[in-house]
Amino acid sequence: MIESIFEGNKYRFCKDKKRKYWLGISGKGGLFPGVHCVAPMSIWSELQSIAIEDGHSKADFMLEKQEEKTKRTRAPKKAKGPSISIF
């Protein structure tokens, strides 16, 4: 569990397979969003640098590469044959 204290407020880093974010844990005032609310993105880099100074690896903050999905090939369009258009 990665936690950082920024301007007297405590934040925790959370990471899923698809996204990463910082949650407010405790504190008051300033940029503190509230307990269990996502912190403003403007302070995420500050929180990360504080965590790295505390001994956490920079690799802990990286998301795993997702596999590329295979693209579907489109079906060929029908040839324009003789047809009647009524407008």
Section 1-5 average pLDDT: 87
Q: What is the pLDDT of residue 12?
A: 92
pTM of the model: 0.69
Asked whether residue 81 is domain-assigned, the answer is no
Token readout for 64 is 């795993």
Q: Is the model's pLDDT at 85 over the cut of 70?
A: no
Full domain range(s) for residue 10: 2-61
Domain membership of residue 42 (yes or no) is yes
Residues with Cβ within 8 Å of 36's Cβ and at least 6 positions away in sequence, in order, are 23, 24, 25
Burial class (CB in 10 A: 0-12, 13-18, 19+), 10: middle
Q: What are the pLDDT digits (tens) for 12-71?
A: 999 888 889 999 898 887 778 888 888 888 888 899 999 999 888 888 888 877 777 788
Q: Is residue 32 part of a domain?
A: yes
Asked, for residue 84, whether it belongs to a domain, the answer is no
Residue 57: what pLDDT? Answer: 87
User: Is a pLDDT exceeding 70 seen at residue 87?
Assistant: no
Considering the domain boundaries, does residue 14 fall inside one? Answer: yes
Does some domain include residue 70? Answer: no
Cα–Cα distance between 55 and 62 in angstroms, integer? 16
Q: Indicate the number of domains in the chain.
A: 1
